[in-house]
Structure 1
Amino acid sequence: MKGILRAIAGRCDTHDRASYSKTARLEAELGMPVSPAPESSTDQFMDPDLIDCGNRRCRTKRSN
């Protein structure tokens, strides 16, 4: 049921969730202390901007 509601709302599991790389980048730009990195290297270096999930909405949003 959640998957259906997410699809209707146009949500993306990959791009519509917080990632450490984007959060750390934003904290650094704002001059805030950067949060400690997660222990998992996958979570630490995953950048949703580099991932093509196949969702048309995400492609058009990233290309703008």
Structure 2
Amino acid sequence: MPKLCKFTSPIDGKPVYVNPARVSVVYVHKGVPADTIIGFGKDFMLGVKESLEDVVAVLEKAAADKG
């Protein structure tokens, strides 16, 4: 099983786990407050509490550790 990356749900503060190999896009949806969105393909988007920079750093570290 691939190493999963742990993030935080913005709604209830519970942990959510992401397979970094399945992530296709990470972006910020401008709102109040702004949401960091992790996209898996075109059909599934997941909002997380962490900043865009933090999400990208965690995913890049996981990718580097794999290779």
TM over 0.5: no
TM-score tier (shorter): 0.3 to 0.5
The structure, 1 or 2, with the larger RCO (C-alpha pairs under 8 Å, 6+ apart) is 1
Report which of the two has the higher share of strand.
2
Query: Which structure has the greater CA radius of gyration?
Result: 1
Report which of the two has the higher share of helix.
1
- TM-score, reference length from structure 1: 0.32
